[in-house]
A = this chain, B = another copy of it.
Amino acid sequence: MIPFKLSDELIAQVTQHIEEKKDTLLLELLEDVHYADVAEIIDELNLDEATYIIKLLDSEKTSDILTELDDDLREKILENLSAKEIAEEIDELDTDDAADIISELPDERKQEVISELEDKEHAKEIVELLRYDEDSAGGLMAKELVKVNENWNVLTCVKEMRKQAEEVTRVHSIYVVDDDDILKGRLSLKDLLTTSTRTNIKDVYIPKVDYVNVDDKAEDVAKVMSKYDLEAIPVVDEMKRLVGRITIDDIVDVIKEEAEKDYQLAAGITQDVEADDSIWELTRARLPWLFLGLVGGAGAAYIMGFFEDYLETQTTLLMFTPLIAAMAGNVGVQSSAIIVQGLANDDLKGSISNRLIKEMLLAMLNGIILSILLFVFAWVWRGQMDVAIAISISLFVVIIVAGIIGTFIPLFLDKRGIDPAIATGPFITTSNDIFGILLYILIAKMIIGA
């Protein structure tokens, strides 16, 4: 396919059409453009232009566009629309997307928009979805699904399905429930096509069906769906009643967000920022971690202060402090990243102590190789055997301790129910800076002597 490519010319053309109010040309230009691509175009426009396009296109398309827009811009555009206009957009959306957009509105507006919704059944479902935590299965699920009663026969079933299918964009599975709406199993489309119309559903459905509970964490739903290669999963409430279904495209978003969050934490960034956010937002995401780094560096300096008289005579030692601190940080980040990833993928087996022993062996192997290299460099360069020995042995010890700390902290946080990903990046680097320098000076002092 020729993928859509956002060009400056296209944006210029759109802006010009808006300025000259050439609605027909604008509609023609955007007609065959996918809503996700129109959203990309709109993300480049100013608020007035963006609102103009949203008001111009019909709500079938704009509702989808709204779901794809940058959060900040969507918020501003919705402020420019009346409750009735928003309700028209919401009427076009599946319940999950509808609930997502409504939940972003200020409280009074929520009420107004909901009362303006045309389809009362739809409105009821959206309101139900609003009460779930957005990071839970309930927050991800949509109410649109195809379900049949176990007491029907295939003929009734096909008739009912056709009716239901009109509201469901993609039929993944047909869920079978009893009279109390309790999930009993599923039907395959294939079986339905090949079974006689008088057969009872009870006799053909597959009683084995994966499902999640409405309060399960989004992250866990993602794990289950990707592990079992599911494209949709039914959601049940505390009484095992079928209340919704989650499709894989929502899970793809969860997986991406999860990965981005971990990546940003490892790089010392919080708050889910993007390159195009404002300087103020980016500062709020970055400054706290830099401050942590500053504290680490100041701490390291302060520790050196205790040994000042000694260090004044050992300039060579001082020149290697950045190296020791950097290596402690690098090893710590590596170790913690491997643990964080193992925890995220659920593939860490064995006890904590085994893991620490393994990390120690690994650090020793790396440590020996790097220490020998450092020894050669320091000795050849400075010609002081004792100093070279002191520096390289310190490096060896620091690498081992850094590896153990980097392994232990995320495991410890995880056991305590805290997201281990915060342990990577500046957090580990900073603590390793401080103890790395301390170990370094103590060991060096021991080896070189006063």
Contact = CB atoms under 8 A, between A and B. Distances in A.
A294 interface: yes
Nearest to A248: B248
A377 B298 contact: yes
User: Number of copies of this chain in the oligomer?
Assistant: 2
A446 interface: no
A252 B249 contact: no
Contacts of A273: 338
Nearest to A287: B366
A60 interface: no
A101 interface: no
Interface string A166-209: 10001100000000000000000110011000000000000000
A37 B339 CA distance: 22
A185 to B, nearest CB: 13
A279 to B, nearest CB: 5
Interface string A291-331: 10110111011101100100110010011111111110111
A273 to B, nearest CB: 7
A2 B322 CA distance: 50
B349 A1 contact: no
A400 interface: no
Contact of A366 (B3, B6, B266, B290): B290
B274 A248 contact: no
A23 interface: no
Contacts of A256: 226, 255, 259
A211 B1 CA distance: 5
A29 interface: no
A322 B302 contact: no
Contact of A337 (B267, B298, B318, B365): B267
Nearest to A251: B252
Contact of A286 (B229, B260, B334, B355): B334
A358 interface: yes
A5 to B, nearest CB: 10
Interface string A260-280: 101110111100011110010
A331 B425 CA distance: 12
Contacts of A165: 190
A348 interface: yes
A249 B275 contact: no
A426 interface: yes
A224 interface: yes
A96 B165 CA distance: 31
A44 interface: yes
A362 interface: yes
Interface stretch (A14-22, A47-55, A74-82, A367-375): A367-375
A155 B370 CA distance: 72
Nearest to A343: B275
A416 interface: no
Question: Which 10 pairs, one residue from A and one from B, show the smallest C-beta to C-beta distance?
Answer: A297-B323, A267-B337, A259-B259, A275-B342, A322-B325, A318-B318, A304-B319, A229-B249, A301-B319, A293-B330
Interface of A: 1, 3, 6, 34, 36, 44, 162, 165-166, 170-171, 189-190, 193-194, 210-213, 220, 224, 226-229, 231, 248-249, 251-253, 255-256, 259-260, 262-264, 266-269, 273-276, 279, 282-283, 286-287, 289-291, 293-294, 296-298, 300-302, 304-305, 308, 311-312, 315, 318-327, 329-331, 333-334, 336-339, 341-342, 345, 347-349, 355, 358, 361-362, 365-366, 369-370, 373-374, 377, 381, 399, 424-426, 429-430, 433, 437
28 contacts: A1-B210, A1-B224, A3-B220, A259-B260, A259-B263, A260-B341, A266-B266, A267-B338, A273-B338, A274-B338, A274-B341, A275-B342, A275-B347, A279-B361, A282-B362, A283-B362, A287-B370, A294-B373, A298-B374, A300-B319, A302-B381, A311-B318, A311-B319, A318-B319, A325-B325, A325-B326, A326-B329, A326-B429
